[in-house]
Amino acid sequence: MIFFVALLLLGLFLFIKHFTWKALPWPEGAVKPPPYQGHRGYWKGGAQENTLASFEAAKRRGLMMIELDIRLSGDGVPVVFHDTDLKRLKEIEKIVLHMTATELRAEAGAPSLEEVFQSELIPSFINIELKTSAMWDGTLERAVADLIKKYKMEKRVLFSSFNPLSLWRLSRLLPQVPRALLATQEEEPENKIYLKHLWLAPYVRIHALHLDYHYVSVEDLKRWQKRKVPVALWTVNDKEKAEAYLKAGALSIISDTLGEKPSANL
């Protein structure tokens, strides 16, 4: 009987926690996202997504922040690449984890995160999305944190990930860097129910949510705001919708096309 009462109380606690949790206070001195971020840089003008060319194009448009995707190469280097393989972008039957960083640079145009940090031609601020499904292996997080410390990027970056445990690991490595949990309601095998419904969000030390705008209304956004949970929306390419979200209190809009206008030579 005591066991069942304890179980009931635990369930009640978790239920209440799920609907009442608040984000951590934004770290003092950390980057505050601008209204618009360039999703994988700016590649609509012809540059390949997630490349130095797309990041430079974003800066020429006047964007202050870009979003990019980081995963590990086969030789353990954090590289800028979204997919697990080269099929979509290059029509090559190769897997990122089976290639070295040098091979990925040559065959897919994928720069290393270190190259990005070394560039003076890209926007000042970076939303680093960590592409990892690892539960216990923190190799990617440690490698990224080491580079951030090496180049003193702590006040120029924020983290985002679909993996709650990745963000929890980063909270221990670089607690002063903001962290946002990515989520979507999209039906995919890897999008488990606990990811869709943010069940781990109260426990992994995050400062914001980055949500798929297809599943978020303006009223939803206002409710999150009342809960003191900042929300950025991705990937919003409709100007009217983006402005409505910003007016309702969205933290930022991650977009392929919106933001500052291109210069004459773009």
Number of domains comprising the chain: 1
Question: 73-78, long-range: CB within 8 Å, 24+ apart, which pairs?
Answer: 73/97, 73/99, 73/100, 73/101, 73/103, 73/104, 74/98, 74/99, 74/100, 75/100, 75/101, 76/139, 76/143, 77/101, 77/112, 77/114, 77/143, 78/112, 78/113, 78/114, 78/140, 78/143, 78/144, 78/147
Name every residue whose Cβ is closer than 8 Å to that of residue 109 and which is 6 or more positions away in sequence: 48, 51, 53
Residue 266 has pLDDT above 60, yes or no: no
Residue 141 lies in a domain: yes
Give the pLDDT confidence of 202-251 residue by residue, as tens digits.
999 999 999 999 999 999 999 999 999 999 999 999 999 999 999 999 99
Q: Please choose, from the candidates 228, 188, 177, the residue with its C-alpha nearest in 3D space to the C-alpha of residue 212.
A: 188
Give the pLDDT confidence of 105-115 residue by residue, as tens digits.
999 999 999 99
Residue 88 lies in a domain: yes
How does residue 263 score in pLDDT terms, banded at 50, 70 and 90? low
Residue 200 lies in a domain: yes
Residue 55 lies in a domain: yes
Question: 44-47, long-range: CB within 8 Å, 24+ apart, which pairs?
Answer: 44/256, 44/257, 45/262, 45/266
Across the strands, what pairs with 210? Answer: 182, 232
Does residue 153 contact residue 176 with C-beta atoms inside 8 Å?
no
Residue 3 has pLDDT above 80, yes or no: no
Residue 138 lies in a domain: yes
Residue 214 lies in a domain: yes
Residue 260 lies in a domain: no
How does residue 6 score in pLDDT terms, banded at 50, 70 and 90? low
Boundaries of domain holding 133: 34-255
Tell me the pTM: 0.96
Residue 45 lies in a domain: yes
CATH code, 182: 3.20.20.190
